[in-house]
Each structure stands twice: as structure tokens, then as C-alpha cells.
Amino acid sequence: MQRHGAPTFIKIDVENSDLIALRDLAAHGIKPPDISVEAHEIGVIVPLYNMGYARYRFINGKMVPTRFANARVRRVDGTRISFAFTLHSSGPFGDDFDEPWLNFEQAMAIWSCRQSLLGPGWYDVHAR
């Protein structure tokens, strides 16, 4: 990042060390406009909020292959293509899926009831 600058999107998925990576970004003042962090605990949402992120979405990782089996995603050049996300992939981000963005309070409420509202599985927290 020192060589090329801060990215416009970061996906953090380092198997139970996600919070360490997120804290390291915050400590170095690195805040891309869009970020996705795998979350197993509520402790991921609070640092995102403290970094200045105001909008959040959740994707249930277990549901990605069925929910996004034929997703329309935007390529770098702006064109859209169909793409089938497989098991253990992160699924789409940003405007490539229609889940409403939540504010911090809504995200915390959804997270506290995630098993009943989002279903069983692992989750990616998307933030802007």
C-alpha cells in the first residue's frame, strides 16, 4: 500500500485473525471506501464504526452459492456479466446485490439476532 496507495476495496478473510488485520489497518490510518470482513463475533462491527464506516451489510457465507448462483456483477470496465459464486467465495459487493445498507444501530440489532434473521453460517460484514 505504501507503493501503490490505499485500495478502493479490501476483503479481509484470514481465518479467525480478521480482527487483527482490521485493527492494523486502523492503526495505520488505512480506510478504503469499501471493505468486507469475515465476522464470527460482534467485535468486528465496532472497529469498522470507529474507523468511520457508517453503512453495513451482511452476507451469510453458507448461502452464497444458492443466493448468488446467477448474480449480475459489474466488471472494472463497467459492463455487467453473470457470475456463479461457489461455496467459500465471498459473493458480490457494493451495488452488485440489493440488500439494503444498514446504519450502525440497525447492524448491531441484526447481528444480535443473526441466527434467526440471517440464518446459520459464517458472515461477511460489508461496510462503506
pLDDT digit string, tens, across residues 24-79: 999 999 999 999 999 877 778 999 999 999 999 998 888 899 989 989 999 889 99
Spell out the domain ranges in the chain: 9-127
**Measured CA distances, 68 to 50, 62, 82, 89 (Å):** 30, 11, 10, 10
**Chain CA centroid to CA 57, Å:** 7
Biggest alpha carbon–alpha carbon distance for the chain: 44
Determine what percent of the chain is predicted with pLDDT higher than 70: 100
pLDDT mean across residues, the chain: 89
Which grid coordinates are listed for 122?
459464517
125 Cβ neighbours under 8 A, 6+ residues apart: 36, 37, 38, 39, 44, 45, 48, 56, 57, 58, 107
Alpha-carbon distance of 111 to 82, in angstroms, equals: 30
| pLDDT confidence of residue 123 | 87
Alpha-carbon distance of 16 to 109, in angstroms, equals: 23
pLDDT digit string, tens, across residues 72-119: 999 889 999 999 998 888 888 878 888 889 999 999 998 888 777 777
99 Cβ neighbours under 8 A, 6+ residues apart: 57, 58, 59
| pLDDT confidence of residue 82 | 94
